[in-house]
A and B are shown apart, each in its own frame.
Chain A
Amino acid sequence: MAWSREQLAQRAAKELRDGFYVNLGIGIPTLVANYIPQGMEVTLQSENGMLGMGPFPFDDEVDADLINAGKQTITALAKTSYFSSADSFAMIRGGHIDLSILGAMEVSDRGDLANWMVPGKMVKGMGGAMDLVAGVKRVVVVMEHTSKDGASKLLPACTLPLTGVNVVDLVITDLGVFAIDKAGAAPMKLIQLADGVTLEEITAKTAAPFEAALS
């Protein structure tokens, strides 16, 4: 047993707080928008130049001038504002966004992140990921615990080219949740196990050092 994609998104949604400005990455992070708790006000930022992202449009509402960072058609809300890419990344780099939730290929127990490049394969580019992890107040990674061949994606040191150094605060995998002290004062802590996952199983599948701090 482990968490499904939907359960991962639900768990990540627990990191949202009322009044937060949040940037969601592509893939599972996008699903987090479906689990914003009732009564909580969260404003989604899209780095192509929009604050206050609404749901996907109905067929007759589609507007080619209104897309999200995944290039999907989207809608606006009453509170929406639009701005240039320079203003968008000033917002991101300047520390005005509260939370970024994004995917990863590898994370180290020191909070290093690799999520944009596999040497030898066609590289699509980092897009806004390097700016987001360098500038957003809190960075949460949502990813599968292991790669397709079973190798741990939580490592003592990333092997792939980095997106950022000491940037990740929390890692949510299908097996559990790990908290990272970016300042390096404390070791990485396992703070939650996914449903049906044992400490023995997650220890066996995690290459990075960690302390169990399960409540």
Chain B
Amino acid sequence: MVNKVYSDAKSALEGLTFDGMIVMSGGFGLCGIPENLIIALRDSGVSGITVISNNAGVDGWGLGLLLETKQIKKMVSSYVGENKEFARQFLAGELELEFNPQGTLAERCRAGGAGIAGFYTKTGVGTLVAEGKETKVFNGETYVLETGLVADLSIVKAWKGDEEGNLIFRKTARNFNPMMATAGKKCVAEVEILVPTGELDPDEIHTPGIYVDRIVKGAFEKRIEQRTVRQRESA
């Protein structure tokens, strides 16, 4: 029987990393990022990585850790405004950057995992994003051709998982994780709670285990970027 369960993030990445690889990394901002696997990827020393991720972390956390060590050659993202080191490397010409509209990025990952080579969308028609891309008119409206994305490795974060690799996400920490799990040639998932197979309700599984090659239970900091609260009215 194939064992998908690994004892720690470092061993979960063993044999899966190489220089120049393409990595998909789940999360939106710092919410739902595979924080342990990002650290393990850094510690693996692999270089020249192309990272597909909606955002680029912040200074000192998330993908910001891989920027500090200059292990990232290129980012494919929709928004990178929260990271000073990112801006410095980009402006110095040390880092390549490909902006995708957020919905196009999500759909490119979904398509890649589903064996869809390309799809037409209205998003970005007439903008820089559509330059050099094929367009086609459907029902009188112009659409632009976008391609599916696949990665050598996807690293994702879920709330609960079982030994089979079935995953359940929590609240808005789901974001890009389910699509990215499907679009990696290999997928490693880190979870807060790892249970024996059979304990998750099959009706509530978001990502079926077929997409997940390895699973590891992590400890999480879950940093918050913009802690915003309201005050209770005094009684």
Q: Which residue of A lies closest to B141 (CB)?
A: A134
Given that A85-B175, A130-B101 are contacting pairs, would A56 and B106 also be in contact in the complex, using a CB cutoff of 8 Å? Answer: no
Binds B, one of A4-12, A86-94, A99-107, A197-205: A86-94
* Nearest CB on A from B102, distance (A): 4
Q: Is A187 an interface residue (CB 8 A)?
A: no
Alpha-carbon distance between A88 and B78 when the two chains are bound, in angstroms: 15
Instruction: Assess whether B226 is in contact with A67, with CB atoms less than 8 Å apart.
Output: yes
- Does the CB pair A128–B101 fall under 8 Å? yes
Residues of B within 8 A of A67 (CB): 28-29, 31, 172, 224-226
Which residues of chain B are within 8 angstroms of A130 by Cβ–Cβ distance? Answer: 101, 103-104, 123-124, 127, 129
Q: Which residues of A82-129 have CB atoms within 8 Å of chain B's CB atoms?
A: 82-86, 88-90, 92-93, 112, 117, 122-129
Q: Does A144 lie at the interface of the complex (its beta carbon under 8 Å from any beta carbon of B)?
A: no
The reply to whether B171 and A63 contact each other, CB–CB distance below 8 Å, is: yes
Which of B31, B54, B99, B232 is within 8 Å of A65, CB to CB?
A: B31
The answer to whether A86 touches B179 (Cβ under 8 A) is yes
Q: Which of B200-232 contact A (CB under 8 A)?
A: 206, 222-232
A128 neighbours in B (Cβ, 8 Å): 78, 101-103
Asked if B91 lies at the interface with its beta carbon under 8 angstroms from chain A, I say: yes
A174 to B98, CA, bound (A): 35
Stretch at the interface among B17-25, B36-44, B79-87: B79-87
A155 within 8 A of B: no
Q: Bound state CA distance, A123 and B86, in angstroms? A: 11
Contact B106 A84 (CB under 8 A): yes
With an 8 Å Cβ cutoff, the count of chain B residues facing the other chain is 58
Residues 47-63 of A, flagged 1 when their CB comes within 8 A of B and 0 if not, give: 11110000111110011
Q: Which residues of A contact B109 (CB under 8 A)?
A: 86
Report yes or no: B229 in contact with A73, Cβ–Cβ below 8 A.
yes
User: Is A209 interfacial (CB-CB < 8 Å)?
Assistant: no
Q: How far is the CB of B160 from chain A (nearest CB, A)?
A: 12
A84 touches B179 (CB 8 A): yes
Interface stretch of the complex, out of A14-22, A36-44, A146-154, A161-169: A161-169
Is the Cβ of B178 less than 8 Å from the Cβ of A86? yes
Q: How far is the CA of A48 from the CA of B106 in the complex (A)?
A: 10
Q: How far is the CB of B211 from chain A (nearest CB, A)?
A: 13
- Whether, in the assembled complex, B107 has its beta carbon less than 8 Å from a beta carbon of chain A, the answer is yes
Query: Which residue of A57, A59, A70, A165 is within 8 Å of B126 (Cβ)?
Result: A165
The residue among B77, B129, B174, B226 with the most chain A CB atoms within 10 A of its own CB is B174
Chain B: CB-nearest residue to A129: B101
Closest to A84 in B: B178
Q: Which residues on the A side are within 8 Å of B90 (C-beta)?
A: 122
| Residue A66 is within 8 A (CB to CB) of chain B in the complex | yes
Contact A124 B171 (CB under 8 A): no
Whether B123 pairs with A47 at a CB distance below 8 angstroms is: no
Cβ contact within 8 Å between B224 and A163: no
Kindly list chain B residues whose C-beta atoms are within 8 Å of the C-beta of A86: 106-107, 109-110, 178-179
- From A83, A85, A161, residue with most partner B Cβ within 10 Å: A85
> Could you tell me the distance between the alpha carbons of A50 and B28 in the complex, rounded to whole angstroms?
12
Closest B residue to A166 by beta carbon equals B126
Question: Is B102's CB under 8 angstroms from A64's CB?
Answer: no
The residue that B121 contacts in the complex, of A82, A85, A93, with Cβ under 8 A, is A93
Pairs of residues from A and B, 9 with the lowest C-beta to C-beta distance, nearest first: A89-B103, A124-B81, A131-B103, A165-B126, A64-B222, A125-B79, A85-B106, A130-B101, A72-B228
Query: Which residues in B have some Cβ–Cβ distance to A below 8 Å?
Result: 28-32, 54, 77-82, 87, 90-91, 99, 101-107, 109-110, 121-129, 159, 169-179, 206, 222-232
Question: Which residues of A pack against B, CB within 8 Å?
Answer: 46-50, 55-59, 62-68, 70-74, 76, 82-86, 88-90, 92-93, 112, 117, 122-131, 134-135, 161-165
7 residue pairs from A and B, CB less than 8 Å apart: A49-B175, A65-B222, A84-B177, A125-B99, A126-B101, A129-B101, A135-B122
